[in-house]
Structure formats: structure tokens, C-alpha cells
Amino acid sequence: MTLREMLDQILDDLDLRDEDWVSEADLTRWLNEAVRVAESEIHTLYEDYFLTPLEDQAISSGQNYVDYPSDIYANKIRKIIFHDGLGNTTTSHEVMREKDLLSGIDKDLYMRDTSLPILTWAPTNDATNGRRIRLFPKQGRAGYLDIWYIRNAKQLSADSDVTDIDEFSRFLVQYAKTKVYLKDGDPRADDSKVLEEQYKREMILSLSDMTPDDNNELEMDLDHYEDSV
């Protein structure tokens, strides 16, 4: 659903068209609060719901810092793949995270003369540049990165914005309706909260059904990359 559709549903269901004690800005704020509540449940139960690829990010030789995706959630990166071209003859490898920072520093020191190094990475967060991905070795390598990461749920601002958790829009709308009743001191707030919690439980159940039985991660199909190494 779009933001406009959800606003219209609330305005019509609660007969608020001619009322001025609650604004569309209020409703939008509450809908976005609901998005954050739903987002928290999703990240807890099935965060791969928000698994997103940022593909073909060009890097140059000597480039050893890369920005995180702008909508990344808690710096959560699933996988980074390096490839040296965009055609069928490309070669590629997984950019592994450095578990031992000294190992990365050693690459800076001892792989300076390697023309085609195997890249690794580590997270950084300095006061000047904020969060960034540090590539090792320092000399870098020209090519492209595909970054698979967990993103934030989209906040809604424009009427045409479509919620990216559309199957849970009933919960979003009911959450906002409860806020309306509470602001007005309407006793129907209790019944609205019961329905809101019901929709939340249904959301949690559907998320639980999405989770694989053996672990909390799904296998990504990376055959294309493995075949081209």
C-alpha cells in the first residue's frame, strides 16, 4: 500500500475527514513508528527479509575505502564479491572479512608488489568519515564489488511512497488507529490495541514460517561467481 492509501483508510474508517485535532502529519508519524516496530520484529525473526544486493560498485586501483550502502541496518553485510569485469569472461572471488586485523595490516605491508591481490575487508568508523569498509591490501584492485547487506525498512513521507512491508500493512494501519483513539481519550483504544496485537502476532507467525528449520540464514545462489573464478 502507498502512504496515501493508508492515510485514506484511516481517515475514512475513523471518520476524520472533517476533524482538525489530528493531522495527516500525526498519522504519518504513527505509521512510521509502526514501520519501526515491524522492522524490529523482522530483524529479530527473519532479517534476510531485507537482504539487498548493491551490485557493480566500481573501485579503482589504490582505492582502499568504500562507503557502506546508505540504507544499511547496523552495518550488517552478508557477503562481498569482487569481480574484475562486467562480461562473461570476468574472474571473481569472495572478499572475506578480516577476523584478525594484524593479518590485514600484513597484507598492506607485504602484498604491495602483487598485481592481482585477493581482497579482504574490515569495518571502520572514524570521527571524520564515519562508517566505511576498509579494503586490504592498501593498494586495492580495480574492478567491481557486489555487496549483499541487510537494509532498513523504508520510512514513508510522500503520498506515493509504497511500504516495503506491504503484507504487514494491516498492522501499520491498526497501530496508527490505536494512536488516534489514545490521543482522543476514546475508550475504543483498548479494542483497537487488541486488534493491533493480533495483527502483530500474525506478522510474527508469518515471519517464523519464513525462517529455515536448520539455521537463520538462507543460502545465496553464487554459482555464477564460483564458476568464473
Rounded Cα gap, residues 18 and 54, in angstroms: 45
Q: Give me the percent of the chain exceeding a pLDDT of 70.
A: 90
Contact between 117 and 141 under an 8 Å Cβ cutoff? The reply is yes
pLDDT tens readout for residues 80-99: 999 998 766 678 999 999 98
From 28-42, 58-72, 99-113, 158-172, the region with the lowest mean pLDDT: 99-113
* Residue 75: DSSP 8-state: E
What average pLDDT does range 137-153 have in this prediction?
Answer: 94
Confidence tier at 213 by pLDDT (50, 70, 90): low
Confidence tier at 217 by pLDDT (50, 70, 90): very low
Radius of gyration of the chain (CA): 23
Confidence tier at 23 by pLDDT (50, 70, 90): very high
Q: How far is CA 194 from the centre of its chain?
A: 29
Omega before residue 137 within 30° of 0, cis = yes
